Chains A and B, each alone.
Chain A
Amino acid sequence: DSGVTQTPKHLITATGQRVTLRCSPRSGDLSVYWYQQSLDQGLQFLIQYYNGEERAKGNILERFSAQQFPDLHSELNLSSLELGDSALYFCASSVGGGSSYEQYFGPGTRLTVT
């Protein structure tokens, strides 16, 4: 158990819908990262927040957005869902914002868009 929690574990929804994925980082960790894992794209970085502020952006679609709240939990919002958005979404956290800090991953949310 990494200490990072993600809810829900599974999500099945229809095309065009909107969903929210939630992540609680390890106690004391200030950085939260979101990654997408799919068969065709592999593991890809989406976005990073550090202590409530957006820190870095990766290959995140405009239909996707995220935020980190004052209690440091984070939410990833996916809207106008398409079949291709079906994937495993991971949240990771690290104690600081530096590159040398290890990232601890949650168990993931498996999103299925039908």
Chain B
Amino acid sequence: AQSVTQLGSHVSVSEGALVLLRCNYSSSVPPYLFWYVQYPNQGLQLLLKYTSAATLVKGINGFEAEFKKSETSFHLTKPSAHMSDAAEYFCAVSAFGNEKLTFGTGTRLTIIP
């Protein structure tokens, strides 16, 4: 079985500051990891995914995430926050033979002008 834990249900950063959203996973088999973003009253949009190729994954809108097996982490970062980044972010995991996505509880990102 797979699971993810997102540390911090709410994160606030100033515009232009570094964004760091934390995700730790648990999986008995090599995982596939995803970050999704949800804007108010919208569906989920894929930001990036890790599928065992490069450990540093670049996504859309300037976001990237690094897979660290030793730390079982897949944290999401963006060097400089923009007001348009305000949204809820979900980390999710799947694995070979288990295609469903198991989501974390989400982190609401607020950008302070």
| B residues less than 8 Å from A103 (CB atoms) | 46, 101
Number of B residues near A (Cβ < 8 Å) is: 24
* Bound-state Cα–Cα, A51 to B49, Å: 24
In the complex, the answer to whether B99 meets A98 with C-beta atoms within 8 Å is: yes
Partner of B105, one of A31, A42, A98, A102: A42
Closest to A57 in B: B100
| A residues less than 8 Å from B42 (CB atoms) | 107-108
In the complex, the answer to whether B43 meets A90 with C-beta atoms within 8 Å is: yes
> Is B95 interfacial (CB 8 A cutoff)?
yes
In the complex, the answer to whether A45 meets B106 with C-beta atoms within 8 Å is: no
* Bound-state Cα–Cα, A44 to B42, Å: 17
Interface residues on A, range: 20 to 34
* Bound-state Cα–Cα, A56 to B106, Å: 24
Chain B, range 55-103, C-beta contacts under 8 Å to A? 90, 94-103
| B residues less than 8 Å from A108 (CB atoms) | 42-43
Where the two chains meet, the residues of B that have a C-beta atom closer than 8 Å to any C-beta of A are 32, 34, 36, 42-46, 49, 51-52, 90, 94-103, 105-106
